[in-house]
């Protein structure tokens, strides 16, 4: 007879441990998408690349939301600032790699966009954290 799967209890981590795990969760999604987006942008100058770039950017933001969700899901005592920190730390790691690769290629770097995009990643990670907080309070989906 078929039995429904039980949701496993997650280990409760400290907020800092959960922040790092949330950052790794976000990096698993955001880093490959950022690399593929960079390859796509450097390889073509057509408008077909813009639609794919929009998709990759949405996936990067989804990775930030997943990181914020994981942070608050793994640590009930974590705050939304920890979720935002996981998104911001993910952005700093990914853009650090991007800045290094652009510097080695000799491309010009536009510094004005970086603080704004950092805030966007942190905000989206906070939204993921708010969803996780609601998930924890209600006991799951529904």
pLDDT at position 137: 83
DSSP string, the chain: ---PPPPPPPPP--HHHHHHHHHHHHHHHHHHHHHHHHHHHHH--STHHHHHHHHHHHHHHHHHHHHHHHHHHH-TT--HHHHHHHHHHHHHHHHHHHHHHHHHHT----TTHHHHHHHHHHHHHHHHHHHHHHHHHHTS--
Residue-level pLDDT, tens digit, the chain, 142 residues: 665 555 556 677 899 999 999 999 999 999 999 999 888 877 766 556 688 889 999 999 999 999 999 999 999 899 999 999 999 999 999 999 989 988 898 888 888 889 999 999 999 999 999 999 988 888 766 5
């Amino acid at each position: 007879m078929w039995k429904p799967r039980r949701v496993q209890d997650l280990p409760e981590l400290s907020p800092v441990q959960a922040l790092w795990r949330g950052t790794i969760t976000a990096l698993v999604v955001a880093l490959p998408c950022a690399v593929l987006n960079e390859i796509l942008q450097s390889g073509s100058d057509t408008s077909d690349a813009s639609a794919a770039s929009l998709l990759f950017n949405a996936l990067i933001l989804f990775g930030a939301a997943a990181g914020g969700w994981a942070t608050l899901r793994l640590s009930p005592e974590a705050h939304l600032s920890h979720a935002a920190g996981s998104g911001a730390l993910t952005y700093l790691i990914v853009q650090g790699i991007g800045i290094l690769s652009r510097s080695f290629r000799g491309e010009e770097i536009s510094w004005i966009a970086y603080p704004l995009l950092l805030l966007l990643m942190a905000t989206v990670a906070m939204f993921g954290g708010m969803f996780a907080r609601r998930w924890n309070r209600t006991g799951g989906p529904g």
